[in-house]
Structure 1
Amino acid sequence: MIRKAKVEDIPEIHKLINEFAEKGLLLPRSLSDLYENIRDFYILVIDGKVVGTSALHIIWEDLGEVRSVIVRDEYRGKGYGKKLVDTCLREAKFLGLKRVLALTYIPEYFKKLGFVEIDKRTLPFKVWSDCVKCPKFPDCGEIALLYYL
């Protein structure tokens, strides 16, 4: 089941994101950042356990970002990641966004979902305001992709 995250889910989301960050698959997130952005998050719950996450963060009037797309290893290959991304894309469409960004270390995954690679330098300054807070800035190595709604 995919549902909006609740405040009580934050410790599990934090643990999951940072486990994958340690593997170099995404950027780490602090607890304070997760609490501040709780409304962005969806979680995948199976047998009462949080096994996946995704988030849709609004950047500008026509642009959102899919963030923190994760599915635990033992649940991969079952289409859950696609469902998490699709949930974010449906919300983006409902909100009237025209484009959804993904910054990722795994661009091929997002390309399979219909995202197209772009040059990061073409992104609006609002995106960079998040980047400058990152411990890996300016050389995080993430690839930028866009999905056009």
Structure 2
Amino acid sequence: MIRKALISDAKAIHKLLMGYAKDGQMLPRSLSEIYENIRDIYVYEDQGAVVGTVCLTICWEDLAEVRSLAVAAGHFGQGIGRQLVEACLEEARRFSLRRVFALTYQRDFFTRLGFYEIEKSELPHKIWSDCLKCAKFPDCDEIAVCIDL
């Protein structure tokens, strides 16, 4: 079941994201950042446990980012990631946003959902503020993808 995250989900979200961050697959998110952004986060709950999460961050009047997409090991291939991204896209449409982007290592996953690859230089400089926190900056190897709504 997909739902908006609750305060009580924050520690489970943090644990899930940190597993990916330790592997260098995403930027780490502090527990404090999760609490600060909890209203932007969706979770996928299975039998009372958070097994997937994603965040939709509005960047500008017509642009949002899908970020911190993670699915717990053992739950891959069940459509959880797709459903989480689709929930973000639906919310973006409700806000009348025109474009949604993601920085990812999973290009094929996003292209199956209708995203297309773009140059990172097309993204506003404001977005790069997170990149400054990354150990890979300025040699980022993530791929920028975007979808027009």
Give the TM-score normalised by the residue count of structure 2. Answer: 0.94
Query: Could you list the runs of 5+ residues in structure 1 that have no partner in the other structure?
Result: none
Tell me how far 1:38 sits from its aligned partner: 1.1
| Corresponding position of 2:10 | 10
Q: Is the 8 A contact 1:25 1:106 kept in 2?
A: no
Q: Secondary structure at the match of 2:74?
A: helix
Conserved? CA contact 1:60–1:126, under 8 Å: no
Cα distance in 2, alignment partners of residues 42 and 146 from structure 1? 20
Residue identity opposite 1:143 in structure 2: I
Paired with 1:21 and 1:75, the residues of 2 have a C-alpha distance of 18
Q: Which moved more, 1:20-29 or 1:3-12?
A: 20-29
Q: How far does residue 7 in structure 1 lie from its aligned partner after superposition? A: 1.4
2:77 is the alignment partner of 1:83: no
Partner of residue 121, structure 1:
121
Corresponding residue for 1:39? 39
1:50 corresponds in structure 2 to: 50
**Which amino acid is the alignment partner of residue 3 of structure 2?**
R
Give 1:138 deviation, angstroms: 1.8
Q: How high is the sequence identity, in percent, across the aligned residues?
A: 55
Q: TM-score, normalised by structure 1?
A: 0.94
* Equivalent residues, number: 149
Q: CA RMSD in A?
A: 1.2
SS of equivalent residue, structure 1 residue 84: helix
